[in-house]
Amino acid sequence: MKNRINGWPQYLDRLSALLNIARMSLLFSIMTFYVLTRSMDEPDLAGPIFNTIELYSWAILYGFLILFSMLVPRWQNQPDALPNVNAAVDITMIAWLMSMGGGVDSGFGILLLPFVGSACLFSRGRYPMIYAGYVTLLIVIIAGLQISHNGFENIGVRICTIAIMLIAAAYFVAGLTSYAATSLVRSQSLQYQQSQMLDSYRHLLDRAFNYVQEGVVVLDESGLVWLINRKAQSYFPILMTDTRTTIFSQIMLYWHTEQKDIFEMNCTLNGWPMRVHARLLQEANIPLLMLSMRSRTEIDQEAMAIKLASLGQLTANLAHEIRNPMSAVRQANELLQEEEHDLARLRLFQIVDNNISRIDKMLEDISMLNKRDKKNKQAIDLRVFWSAFMQEFLLIKPQAANCIQLEIDIDHLIVWCDSVHLQQILWNLMNNAWRHSLQNKQAIRVIIHRQAQQKISITVIDNGAGVSAENQLHLFEPFFTTEASGTGLGLYVARELAQANHGQLSYCPQLNGFELTLPRMVDE
């Protein structure tokens, strides 16, 4: 699998094509040489004497093998676990030619060496001794037949010397080619690993480049865009790489005028108020300017979020610190009421107690707001939840009995949220609805239904006068209230808790009510 991946078969395909060319050249040369020398009268120039039938049989068989190798080149690429059969066929055919041409001293034996080398390359450097040993066996057989036919006294020493030289050359070529092929395979494997590592780095850099918070644009002095990431593309949809743009002409003018390598500036780009950080880059001796930019609106929002987070922590600490002295004030107020019977003073004590209760409610809302990130989500069946909620609500507001109408879908309505948060949200909505309604039989209408495939809607509607258009703009602002005894945190906390549970709370003026949407439990 590794060799298939790292590109080695491409080299083998090229080697197969070159080897087929060499085979065709060899076959064509030998047959041309035989035909041209066959008609010569001088024996010294006639060359080796071939048996015509045997030579043509060899040529036909070898030609068929060459044609098959050209039509099916991959048959030569065998698994590494076995020696290459194609190489054995070539070596056998050359040995047959050498035997036909006069034996070991015919000169055809030198043709064995290229095929020994190609066999080691096809085997990726494996089995060099097997190929050289096979060549040795064939040479020994041919030399033995030649000596037995002509006698050792006549040609034995010369045949043995040539045979030994051919065998030594075969082992040398096999060893050298095997070493070269093994080194090539090793370098190919290393190259593949490095290319995989570079691909991984490139992928990581691409993700880092495209997922940073800043929009990044790299351009040259002429305004040609070299690189642009997704964030910058969202700012400037018409901007493309390898195109010139005049969007950054203000920045380019400042760069050329001031000749600074690093600078920052506030500017308006294509209608976007931006904070731009510019840095000079050098790429192939071409000055490039890398612009990192962010919308000033986003920067201001982040700064506000940080301030609000700090303010939230501060208010949580203040709420904790205020509770203790307020408890002491309440206790002192209760003790004073026990010793006083003057109605005017008792009224003053009642005012103190009411304001202490108001402060307690505000501290409770602040505490709930700071617990919005502490979620304990679970599957909540709204039918069961509503039944328990109504029992508790009517205990506190018994006058609301028979004044609340419920419209609920037949389907199983199961939401995925924190039950404490849902309790707090509905309590605020129901309490506001009752307070602003006419408090009659049709005072409050609650509609629970599936809004979409993944959402469930809970709408609380009252029959009161509704919220004025002016006040609708400030409904969810903290500390905004139209009631003298209100804290102005109820709706603000309710919306924050809804968003903490991936929901949404909004006012619907056409219904004169508030709609809460929560994620539906999918696997019901």
| Tally: H helices and E strands in the chain | 15, 12
Are 192 and 5 a contacting pair, CB within 8 Å? yes
> Which CB contacts under 8 angstroms, 24+ apart, belong to 6-9?
6/188, 6/189, 6/191, 6/192, 7/188, 7/192, 8/124, 8/185, 8/188, 9/77
Measured CA to CA in angstroms, residue 160 lies from 102, 144, 172, 239 at distances of 14, 9, 18, 80
Each of the 524 residues of the chain gets a pLDDT tens digit; together they read 344 444 455 666 677 777 778 888 888 888 887 777 765 545 554 455 667 888 888 888 988 888 887 887 666 555 555 677 777 888 888 888 888 888 888 888 888 888 888 888 877 778 888 888 888 999 889 888 888 877 666 667 888 888 899 999 999 998 898 888 888 778 877 887 887 787 777 776 677 677 777 888 888 888 888 888 888 888 888 888 888 888 888 888 888 888 888 888 888 888 888 889 888 886 657 788 888 888 887 777 777 666 656 656 666 666 667 777 877 777 777 777 776 667 777 777 777 777 777 677 666 666 665 555 556 788 888 888 898 888 888 888 889 888 999 988 877 788 888 888 888 889 889 988 898 888 888 899 999 988 777 888 999 999 888 888 778 777 777 766 766 555 567 788 888 888 888 888 988 888 889 999 998 876 54
pLDDT of 516 reads: 92
The residue with tokens 């990726």 is: 124
Distance CA 391, CA 401 (A): 10
The residue with tokens 């009659």 is: 440
Q: If we measure between CA atoms, which residue out of 367, 365, 359, 361 comes closest to residue 333?
A: 359
pLDDT of 375 reads: 63
Q: Is 404 exposed, middle or buried (0-12, 13-18, 19+ CB in 10 A)?
A: buried
Encoded amino acid at 305, one letter? A
Domains present along the chain, CATH in parentheses: 2-194 (no CATH), 215-298 (3.30.450.20), 300-370 (1.10.287), 377-519 (3.30.565.10)
pLDDT of 1 reads: 39
Q: Are strands 404-408 and 444-450 parallel, antiparallel or unpaired?
A: parallel
CB-side neighbour CA atoms (13 Å) of 201: 6
Dihedral (Cα; 512, 514, 519, 523), 10-degree rounding: -60
The residue with tokens 């880059």 is: 281
pLDDT of 124 reads: 76
Are 372 and 411 a contacting pair, CB within 8 Å? no
pLDDT of 171 reads: 92
Distance of CA 202 to the CA centre of its chain: 12
Distance CA 253, CA 258 (A): 8
Nearest-10 crossing angle of helices 152-210, 112-122? 30
Distance CA 175, CA 474 (A): 88
> What are residue 343's phi and psi, to 5 degrees?
-65, -40
pLDDT of 48 reads: 57
Distance CA 100, CA 416 (A): 89
- Helix, coil or strand: residue 517: strand
| Phi-psi domain of 151 (left: phi exceeds 0; alpha: psi -120 through 50; beta: other) | left
DSSP state of 246: S
Are 165 and 119 a contacting pair, CB within 8 Å? no
Tokens of 249: 């002409």
How many Cβ atoms from other residues are within 10 Å of residue 237's Cβ? 8
Q: If we measure between CA atoms, which residue out of 419, 436, 522 comes closest to residue 471?
A: 436
Q: If we measure between CA atoms, which residue out of 286, 278, 233 comes closest to residue 257?
A: 278
DSSP state of 488: S
Are 112 and 135 a contacting pair, CB within 8 Å? yes
